[in-house]
Amino acid sequence: MQKNPVELILKKRNGEILTQSDIEWFFSLYHQGNLPEYQMSAMLMAMYFNPLNAEELAALCHTMIYSGEVVDLRTISKPKIDKHSTGGIGDKTSLILAPIVASLGIAVPMISGRGLGHTGGTLDKLESIPGFNVNLSLNEFKGQLQTVGCGLIGQTKEIAPLDKSLYALRDVTATVESIPLIAASIMSKKIASGLDGLVLDVKTGSGAFMKDLHQARSLAKTLISIAKSYEKSCSVFITDMNEPLGYAVGNWLEVQECIACLQGKPVPDLMEVSLTLSGAMVQLSGKCETLEEGVALSREQIKNGEAWEKFLEIVQSQGGDTAMLQSPQNYPQSKHRLDIPASETGFIQTIDAQTVGFCAMQLGAGRQTIQDKIDPKAGIVFHKKCGDEVVKGEKILTVHTGKSDVVEQVTKRMESALVISPKKVEAVSKIIEKIPMNNEK
Which of the residues are catalytic? 84, 163, 170, 185, 189
**Residues, the chain:** 441
Count of other CB atoms within 10 angstroms of residue 435: 18
Write down the H helix ranges in 114-241.
122-127, 138-147, 161-171, 179-192, 213-229
DSSP state of 69: P
CB 24 within 8 A of CB 158: no
Distance, C-alpha 407 to centroid of its chain: 27
Residues paired with 81 in a beta bridge: 197
Query: Do 251 and 129 contact (CB within 8 A), yes or no?
Result: no
> In this structure, what are the phi and psi dihedrals at residue 38, rounded to the nearest 5 degrees?
-65, -30
Q: Rounded CA gap, 407 and 401, in Å?
A: 8
139: number of Cβ within 10 Å: 10
Burial status of residue 382 (CB atoms within 10 A of its CB: 0-12, 13-18, 19 or more): buried
Cα–Cα dist 133/126, whole Å: 8
> Rounded CA gap, 144 and 122, in Å?
18
Closest CA to 257 of 369, 120, 147, 146: 120
d(CA 59, CA 80): 26
- Distance in angstroms (rounded) separating the CA atoms of residues 432 and 263: 27
Cα separation, 212 vs 214, in Å, equals 6
3-class state of residue 249 by DSSP: strand
Terminal CA-CA length for the chain: 49
Residues 325, 328, 333, 337, CA torsion sign: positive
